[in-house]
Amino acid sequence: MHLEEKLPQLVNAIEDGLKGYLSAVDFGHSAELGRMLRYHMGWEDGLGGGKRLRPALTLLCAGACGGEVAAAMPAALGVEFVHNFTLIHDDIQDGSPMRHGRPTVWTRWGVAQAVNAGDALFSIAQLALLELRQTCSEAVALWAAREMNQVCLRLIRGQYLDMAFEGDDEVALETYLAMIEGKTAGLIAFCTAVGGMAAGAAAETVTRLGDFGRHLGMAFQIQDDYLGIWGDPAVTGKSAASDLLARKKSLPVLFGLRESADFRALWGVEQPTQAQIDDMADQLAACGAAEYVRQQAETFTQQAFADLERLFPRPNADAQALGALTENLVHRQV
């Protein structure tokens, strides 16, 4: 089965699982809290709530190791709930008014209730994940719970750094890469590793699946940084060089601040015009930032593919789908 057929099936199963799990949670007198979570997950208005890539990776990794979807499903639900807990809190922290085409939870219910809703989803994620004790074993559930909380702690460390960077004039490229490793790649590494674990894979395989996820996550995030400046507005649906407009200290910007006096001067302009934004993007390309970022993404992409080849020298259908999904993610234009 090709990825174009496989992925929608998986995503449907994940969506059903997420809805089923959340609808079984007892919200008692606090029904509105449940509604906030369903709203964030995208089930109140038909607009949807995200691509569910993380749990899809978990299920594909489980399948690639010869495991069953049902055994890995608690892990898939756990990682997607965790991801969404971080999004609810991220939106508060960034002051983001919109996500997936609708007002964010804090915009609609206020900061205090949004903090609380995120906390609820974090607890729900833990409970969902711990159901691995039923579909796999107590040992797998415990391993997953410890690993996920360690990953969350690294993610939260990364979030600390990301916010601290805003007030920081000089951020070393290495520190930035450490930040995105914690904030993005770590959770994706957990998604892939826990899939293998749920399939009963050997420790060595689980470790390499984690490496694959980490490399994929780095490539994914760096590609995101690239598209934030050089993505085609017609394809991304965002304005040209949207990350420059938002003054986001992404990888190309940090490279430009280090390498180009012209870019530094433009970056210092408060409320730049669109012409100045375009100029900034050109200066970045001229000083080698685009090339540097592309190369970084490519390096991690190659590592991810090398991981896959070593993991699955004779790939089954799920391992093939995993390769195709990796290809889509790292070479996407949106």
Judged by the rule CB under 8 A, the positions of this chain that interact with a second copy are 25, 27-30, 32-33, 89, 92-94, 111-113, 115-116, 118-120, 122-124, 126-127, 130, 133, 138-139, 141-142, 145-146, 149-150, 152-154, 156-161, 163-164, 175, 178-179, 182
Cα(184)–Cα(188) distance, rounded to whole angstroms? 7
Cα(184)–Cα(222) distance, rounded to whole angstroms? 10
Q: State the residue for tokens 């499903």.
A: 73
CB of 331 to a second copy, least distance (A): 30
Q: Which residue, 130 or 285, is less far from a second copy as judged by CB? A: 130
Cα(301)–Cα(316) distance, rounded to whole angstroms? 21
Amino acid at 285: A
Q: Which residue, 161 or 189, is less far from a second copy as judged by CB? A: 161
Residue among 45, 46, 59 nearest 11 (CA)? 59
Q: Which residue, 208 or 249, is less far from a second copy as judged by CB? A: 249
CB of 92 to a second copy, least distance (A): 6
Cα(43)–Cα(87) distance, rounded to whole angstroms? 16
DSSP H helix total and E strand total for the chain: 18, 2
CB of 200 to a second copy, least distance (A): 17
3-state secondary structure 256-297: HHHHCHHHHHHHCCCCCCHHHHHHHHHHHHHCCHHHHHHHHH
Q: Which residue, 175 or 236, is less far from a second copy as judged by CB? A: 175
Q: Which residue, 127 or 245, is less far from a second copy as judged by CB? A: 127
CB of 216 to a second copy, least distance (A): 22
CB of 138 to a second copy, least distance (A): 5
Q: Strand, helix or coil at 103?
A: strand
CB of 44 to a second copy, least distance (A): 17
Cα(305)–Cα(33) distance, rounded to whole angstroms? 42
Q: Which residue, 91 or 307, is less far from a second copy as judged by CB? A: 91
